[in-house]
Amino acid sequence: MDKMSKCPIVKEIGEITSNMYRLGWNERNGGNISVLVDEKEIKRYVNTRKIIRDLPLAVAFPEFAGRYFIVTGTGKYFKNIANNPAENLGLIRISDDGSRAHLIWGYTAGGSFTSEIIMHLGAHKQRLNVDPDQRVVMHAHPVNILSMTHVFPWDEKKLTKELWSTCTECIVIFPDGVALLPWMVSSSPEIGLASAEKFKDFRILVWALHGCTVTGKSLDEAFGLLETVEKGAEIYMKIQNSNNERHSIEDGMLKAVVDDFNISVREGWL
């Protein structure tokens, strides 16, 4: 393997994408990840002065001029990343005017970054305004949260409360709730920009009939958000057709959890 493939953050992306694949969240080329990286993290592993290719961006992000991102490649399979990071990932540096990405490493068989790049850069931009340590955007197609959007109202407050009520940990892990966008054509600048608006105020965004995107300070944190949302949705999908008497985590119980853990919940949602 080349040197950059041995860089710790590249290895971590390989491990996490293998887990995501095995959980059934990322079939074929489904899903994409971007990680904002510091030059210090990568410069021992790659020559950052050498630009391999220039890749145009449909929307300019001048605020990211000179910043580096590792991004999964378009059409690439999560299951293959760990064995061949250089073909399936790319390291890009955003150009001075923000309208292009200089490819520094990766995409060795050709191709480019994920088709959802506008959503990724838009999400990084908005989350960084809230949290300067934010560096991960992770998109996947987990079966249960996706299934839930087939049978549940497309209402983010109702969806959040239903997820909170499934499993006691949900409100502890995502007290800020889950945003939702109605169905839109994927990979378009429109869905990218609409998503970025949601990320001003949320760390988790469900795309109806498509999947879910999460953000975080680390790959582990983003992964943990996604698996907790997916766990809640799995419980919902398992119990929703039962004719048995139902128990649920009612508002009073949620309030007791919140008080006990001293958590601040999204204003007006509980």
Amino acid at 177: G
Beta pairing class for 68-72 and 89-94:
antiparallel
Name which of residues 116 to 135 contact ligand 2HA (CB under 6 A): 116
What does 215 interact with, of Zn ion, ligand 2HA, none (CB < 5 to 8 A by kind)?
none
Report d(CA 178, CA 113) in Å as an integer. 26
Report d(CA 266, CA 270) in Å as an integer. 8
Q: Is 24 in the site for ligand 2HA (CB under 6 A)?
A: no
Report d(CA 108, CA 3) in Å as an integer. 14
Q: Which is nearer to ligand 2HA, 18 or 48 (CB)?
A: 18
Binding mask 168-187 for ligand 2HA (x = CB under 6 A): ------------------xx
Q: Is 41 a catalytic residue?
A: no
Q: Residue 106 in contact with residue 85, Cβ under 8 Å?
A: yes
Q: Residue 120 in contact with residue 71, Cβ under 8 Å?
A: yes
Binding mask 176-215 for Zn ion (x = CB under 5 A): -----------------------------------x----
41, 63, 87, 116: the active-site residue:
116
What does 99 interact with, of ligand 2HA, Zn ion, none (CB < 5 to 8 A by kind)?
none
The count of residues interacting with Zn ion (CB under 5 A) is 1
Residues 6+ apart with CB under 8 A from 245: none
What the block records as the tokens of 157 is 């407050």
Going from the C-alpha of 19 to that of each of 12, 119, 164, the distances in angstroms are 11, 23, 25
Which residue in the block uniquely carries the two structure tokens 């200089």? Answer: 102
What does 108 interact with, of Zn ion, ligand 2HA, none (CB < 5 to 8 A by kind)?
none
Q: Is 32 in the site for ligand 2HA (CB under 6 A)?
A: yes
Stretch that binds ligand 2HA, among 83-91, 111-119, 176-184, 248-256 (CB under 6 A): 111-119
Among residues 11, 12, 30, 270, the one that binds ligand 2HA under rule CB under 6 A? 30
**What are the residue numbers of the active site?**
116
